[in-house]
Each structure stands twice: as C-alpha cells, then as structure tokens.
Amino acid sequence: MAHIVSGDSGVHDVVEALRRGDVVGFPTETVYGLAADIRNEAALQRIFSVKGRPTSHPLIVHIADFDQLHDLAVGVSPACLALLEICWPGPLTVVVSAAPHVSRVCTGGRDSVAVRLPAHPLAQMVIRELGAPVAAPSANRFGHVSPTSALHVANDLGDDITLVLDGGPCAVGVESSIVDFSVTPPEILRPGSITAEEIRAILSHHGTDLSTSSHGPSRAPGMMDRHYAPRARLVLHEAGDPLPVDGAPILRFDTNLVDAARHLYERLRELDARHIPLAHVVLPTPSGLGFALRDRLSKAAAGL
Ligand code: TXA
Ligand code: MG
C-alpha cells in the first residue's frame, strides 16, 4: 500500500521520489494527480502502465509559473494569455502548440500540449522544489472514478506507487475545464468549474469566439463514452421527473452545484464500497457548473 505523507516533509519526500524517476500521487484543487517529472520519459511511460491507459491519450502538464508555459509552448495567442492571466492558478487547462523539446510520450505523439497551473499550494510547492513541470493525469485506474482524497489514491493504486502527498479533500472535485487553442476558434474539450460562459466572456474582449461543439474522441483522446465509472449501474433522471420507488438509493446533484461537484466522486465511490448495484441520479440543469456534472455523470452511467 502506498505511503501517505503530508506537510513540508511530505513535499520533500515526493520531490525526492520524482527525482529518482518514481511516479507519485499529488493533490490539486480539482482531483488528485499521478505525477511524473516531465524530463524523464521512463517515468512518463510508467504513468501509462500504472493507470492502464493507452499511450495515445495525452497527459496534462502542471506548471508553477508563466515562464514554464513559455518554455513548453510556442505561439500562445494574446487571447489565450489574457484568459490565463485571469483564471490561473486554477482549474483551467489549455491545449497549445508544443515546443520541440516537449516529450511526445507526454503529448501522446501530438504536436500540441495541455498545460495547467494548479491553485493547490502543495502542488505548486512540488513543482517549484523539483524545478520542472510534472505531467499528471487523474490518479485512478483508466476509466474508473477520479480520486478526491489521498486515501482514494492509495486505495486505487495500492502497491503500484510508493507515495501519495496528502493535501486534504479536493476543493473543486471535478477535473479542470479544457480549452483547445490549437484550433480556430478555440474549443471547449471538457467542461469544468470554470464555465463556458465565463471563458466566452473573457475571450470576447479579445475578439475571439469559443466553440462548445466538440464531440471528437480523436480531438480529445481519452474522452470516451464510459469514463469516471463506478461498478454500480447509474440511472439518470432530470430534476422534476418522477422517480421510481424501487428501493434503490437516489443521489441528487441538482441543488448546490459547488457541493455537488466537490462530493461527486466520493458519492460514486461510496456506492461501490457499500456494494450497491444500482442507484438513481438526479441531474442538474445544463447551465454553468451543471454542464460539468452532467458530463461526468452521463459518462459514469454509460453502458460498457
Ligand atoms: O483537473 C485535471 O485536469 C486533473 C488534475 C490532476 O490536474 N487532470 C486530469 O488529467 O484530468 P486526465 O489525464 O485525466 O485528463 C487529461 C485529458 C485527456 O484525456 C485528453 O482528453 C486531454 O486532457 N488532453 C491532454 N493533452 C491533450 C492534447 N494535446 N490535445 C487534446 N487533448 C488533450
Ligand atoms: Mg482522468
């Protein structure tokens, strides 16, 4: 079982492990990540093998300052920079053209790279002390429920990793919003807690549109239909629909969306811990953070 460490000494331990080429669990404000030093290709490859993730699904690179963005990316547009000035540090990832030295193991063979500056202070400390960005997908097995506590990571990845840095429960609870700036107009690839409305408003000041029409697994590899999925079967309902009275638990995600997002994955994990085969889920309306919740819940409910 992975060792859970915390505080300054925990940061130091995980940085030492990253320097040795290990992969470690680390906290961000969205979900916990499975981190590797971006300069170490063997460590990057280990992320894919620990997760059981196809090597064509690119990883998000986590940075601690804008200098690291300019080192990783080429031709970042003024509109993109303006958006990042407002939203970073925070739960927003941008896909931009990758500099030639960025490992194509990390980008899944693409010439674009996904970059995020997380708000969690321990994530920033790790990256600063290492002196390099870390690549990190969510720290769960491929297709399964994302982790929002150190214990979730240790339970999921068990003996395959040695260390998890405990940064407490994740404040946001759903993965970052992803905007692809490698296309014109830029396009939302994954909804998150920074909403399309907010992003569109910022970009419009720079005469830039935002497309929300992406459905392409080829555009956003790793976004297949079934994802974020517990073993329990989920039956989705719109708020206000009559609910079946069949004794199965009813999980409501239609009020207090910030809390609904924060506890989403914990509640899905609880179904499996209690060996519940089926649950009813009440969806939020599709606006604001409701889009991210509907996206994750519909993928969690999709058939195999
Ligand atoms: O909140 C988050 O973003 C979390 C935390 C740990 O930061 N990370 C996360 O990573 O959710 P992951 O690997 O589970 O999701 C990354 C997704 C990929 O599935 C892919 O769709 C998209 O980001 N992505 C990454 N690089 C890309 C690229 N170059 N082009 C298009 N999509 C990319
Ligand atoms: Mg993931």
What are the pocket residues of ligand 1 if the criterion is a CB atom closer than 6 Å to any ligand atom?
28, 30-31, 33, 57-60, 91, 93, 95, 107, 110, 112-114, 116, 136-138, 175-176, 178, 180, 189, 220-223
User: Please, are residues 209 and 67 in contact by the beta-carbon 8 Å criterion?
Assistant: no
Atom of ligand 1 nearest to the CA of 172: 1
Confidence of residue 216 (pLDDT cuts 50, 70, 90): very low
Q: Which residue of 56, 74, 93 sits with most ligand 1 atoms within 8 Å of its CB, as the best mutation to test the pocket?
A: 93
* Centre of ligand 1 from the C-alpha of residue 115, in Å: 9
Res 187 pLDDT > 50: yes
Can you tell me the distance from the alpha carbon of 63 to that of 118, in angstroms, rounded to the nearest whole number? 7
State residue 177's pLDDT score: 98
Res 115 pLDDT > 60: yes
Q: Which of 262-280 are b and which e, b meaning 16 or more Cβ less than 10 Å from the residue's Cβ?
A: bbbbbbbbbbeeeeeeebb
Peptide bond into 58 cis (omega under 30): no
Q: Which residue of 116, 117, 175 sits with most ligand 1 atoms within 8 Å of its CB, as the best mutation to test the pocket?
A: 175
**Considering only 42-51, 90-99, 186-195, 225-234, which range has the smallest mean pLDDT?**
225-234
Burial of 285 (0-12, 13-18, 19+ CB in 10 A): middle
Atom of ligand 1 nearest to the CA of 32: 6
Residue whose tokens read 């170490």: 40
* Centre of ligand 2 from the C-alpha of residue 137, in Å: 6
* Centre of ligand 1 from the C-alpha of residue 155, in Å: 22
State residue 63's pLDDT score: 98
Instruction: Give 292's Cβ-side CA count (13 Å radius).
Output: 29
Q: Alpha-carbon dihedral of residues 131, 132, 133, 137, nearest 10 degrees? A: -100
Res 57 pLDDT > 90: yes
pTM of the prediction? Answer: 0.96
* Centre of ligand 2 from the C-alpha of residue 104, in Å: 19
Residue pLDDT, tens place only, 62-91: 999 999 999 999 999 999 999 999 999 999
Count other Cβ atoms within 10 Å, centred on residue 195.
Answer: 18
Query: Letter for the amino acid at 186?
Result: P
Retrieve residue 143's tokens. Answer: 């297709």
| DSSP secondary structure of the chain | -PEEE-HHHHHHHHHHHHHTT--EEE--SSS-EEEEETT-HHHHHHHHHHHT--TTSPPEEE-SSHHHHHHHEES--HHHHHHHHHH-SSSEEEEEEEPTTS-TTTTTT-SEEEEE----HHHHHHHHHHTS-EE--BSS-TTBPPP-SHHHHHHHHGGG-SEEE---S-SS-SPPEEEETTSSS-EEEE--SS-HHHHHHHHHTTT---B-----TTTSTT--SS-SB-SSEEEEEETTSPPP-SS--EEE-SS-HHHHHHHHHHHHHHHHHTT--EEEEEEPPSSTTHHHHHHHHHHHHS--
- pLDDT > 90 in the chain, percent: 92
User: Please, are residues 25 and 157 in contact by the beta-carbon 8 Å criterion?
Assistant: yes
Between the CA of residue 126 and those of 10, 25, 226, what are the distances in Å? 10, 11, 32
Can you tell me the distance from the alpha carbon of 265 to that of 272, in angstroms, rounded to the nearest whole number? 11
Can you tell me the distance from the alpha carbon of 26 to that of 149, in angstroms, rounded to the nearest whole number? 10
**Mean pLDDT score of the chain, rounded to an integer?**
95
Q: Which residue of 59, 60, 120 sits with most ligand 1 atoms within 8 Å of its CB, as the best mutation to test the pocket?
A: 60
183 or 212, higher pLDDT: 183
Can you tell me the distance from the alpha carbon of 24 to that of 40, in angstroms, rounded to the nearest whole number? 14
* Centre of ligand 2 from the C-alpha of residue 222, in Å: 8
Atom of ligand 1 nearest to the CA of 182: 30
* Centre of ligand 1 from the C-alpha of residue 159, in Å: 24
Confidence of residue 304 (pLDDT cuts 50, 70, 90): low
User: Please, are residues 103 and 156 in contact by the beta-carbon 8 Å criterion?
Assistant: no
